[in-house]
Structure 1
């Protein structure tokens, strides 16, 4: 199996490079950390199911033009850092042509923890999202608990924890 069919430059990569590489290899998801390419396989069935449930919940509860699955998000002012949260709710509708969202347009980033992504989803991504100024971060744990965090300075503080089923049975909380 070929992982990347696009030519990869011999230098730190940029978000434009990653966009080009992803276009040549639709079977993987790509993120960028300090110019280093990170390659992830598609999500598991559980992962994709939870992502779909959350997407539908936001879509049908007042965020039809502000929720998307696995969008690119810039995580620094430079062009060397970008992540792909499992789900994002934006502060306003976004133009269809945007590939890498500016972090100030992201109201909530959600990560679904799966085998192989534990450290990234629990420790690395929350730090990057917080430093980028994303106000809210939710993490869905393997036991389907949704742990909710709010930005406090340049780090997140936990403000809630709820079973996914209970979350989906209720209304979408205020995201501002």
Structure 2
């Protein structure tokens, strides 16, 4: 067994904290912090995931109203011990090119496009943590017969849990967090 590189050793006995992610230049891209533990996403990204996330980012960017920005793969500092990195976020935070994370109070929508290695975290852990942090809208986009299916959730504020709004195939039409109409099938067109 080889020894761990120094950067992988927590800086304190309590483990990792949110601010530590910015001090790990040797960590792989897409390193997340969940409950004080580093989570590395090192499996190869599938074409389906990459194309759906890119197309959805482009569509949401075009639909977002003034004052709302759409970004990919930037972490959200949920608390001192949690800094997950969703695939897509829509925020009302001021534009700052040097930003490495967003506050939940500035995030109006989180979108996770599942992949085999992230399914469990996206469906359970992240769903719960985003709700507890007060993020009002969460979408989980999954693959069904090579087509995107959106599981849409909205925050029930009194319980700080997500209520399912619907499972959408084909055309996604919503009025919140801003007016949205998306042909989900167009996000990953199949060629004949």
1:135-176 CA-partner distances (Å, limit 9, x unpaired) = 00000012111010000020000112222x523xx6x74316
- Among 59, 71, 74, the residue aligned to 1:71: 74
Aligned to 2:185: none
Whether 1:152 aligns to 2:153 is: no
For residues 43 and 19 of structure 1, the distance between their equivalents in structure 2, rounded to whole angstroms, comes to: 23
For residues 5 and 109 of structure 2, the distance between their equivalents in structure 1, rounded to whole angstroms, comes to: 30
Name stretches of at least 5 consecutive residues in structure 1 with no aligned partner.
none
CA radius of gyration, larger in: 2
Name stretches of at least 5 consecutive residues in structure 2 with no aligned partner.
179-192
Cα distance change of structure 1 residues 16 and 145 upon mapping to structure 2, 3 Å threshold: same
TM-score (structure 2 length as normaliser): 0.77
For residues 161 and 124 of structure 2, the distance between their equivalents in structure 1, rounded to whole angstroms, comes to: 11
Q: How do residues 93-104 of structure 1 correspond to structure 2 at under 5 angstroms?
A: 93-104=94-105
For residues 54 and 60 of structure 2, the distance between their equivalents in structure 1, rounded to whole angstroms, comes to: 10
* Aligned residue pair count: 166
Aligned to 2:45: 43
TM-score (structure 1 length as normaliser): 0.83
